[in-house]
Amino acid sequence: MSEPSVFTRILNGEIPSEIVAETDNVFAIRDIAPRAPLHLLVIPKTAAYRDVVELAAGDPGLLAEMVSLAKTLAEEHADGDFRLIFNVGEGVGQTVFHVHAHVVAGRFSEGSVGG
C-alpha cells in the first residue's frame, strides 16, 4: 500500500489545514501557496483516483460534485466567476496524485498553478 496522500492526511487531521467546506464525498481547503486572491483546492475524500482522467472514467458523479462545490465556493468567496484547473501529470506540475481541482478567482500570477 502506498503512503496516504497529503490531502488524506489533512482530512484525517494529521496535517493542519482549515477545511473551508465539506460534503459527504468532497472537501475544500486553501492552497498553501496561493497564486490568486482566491485559490482553493476541491478534493474528493477518496484517494482512489490519481487525476481527473481516472476520476471521469471511474466516477463521473463524483467529478460533478467537485464542480458543484467549486461553483458554490466561488459564489461564497468571490463574485462567482472562477477557473477550474486540473493538472494531469508531472510534466505540467502535478505534485499530488490524489485528484484535486484548483479553484482560482481574481487575477492570478503567471506560471503554472500547483507544482
Site for ligand 5GP (CB under 6 A): which residue of 44, 87, 103, 104? 87
Q: With the CA atoms of 17, 23, 25 and 29 taken in that order, what torsion angle do they form, in degrees rounded to the nearest 10?
A: -20
Note if 102 is an active site residue: no
Region from 20-28, 42-50, 60-68, 86-94 binding ligand 5GP, contact rule CB under 6 A: 86-94
Site for ligand 5GP (CB under 6 A): which residue of 5, 6, 45, 78? 6
Whether the Cβ atoms of residue 42 and residue 70 lie closer than 8 Å to each other: yes
- By the rule CB under 6 A, 1 interacts with ligand 5GP: no
Q: Alpha helices of 39-114 — where are they, by DSSP H? A: 52-58, 60-77
Cα atoms in the 13 Å half-sphere on the side-chain side of 4: 12
- By the rule CB under 6 A, 82 interacts with ligand 5GP: no
List the catalytic residues.
Answer: 100
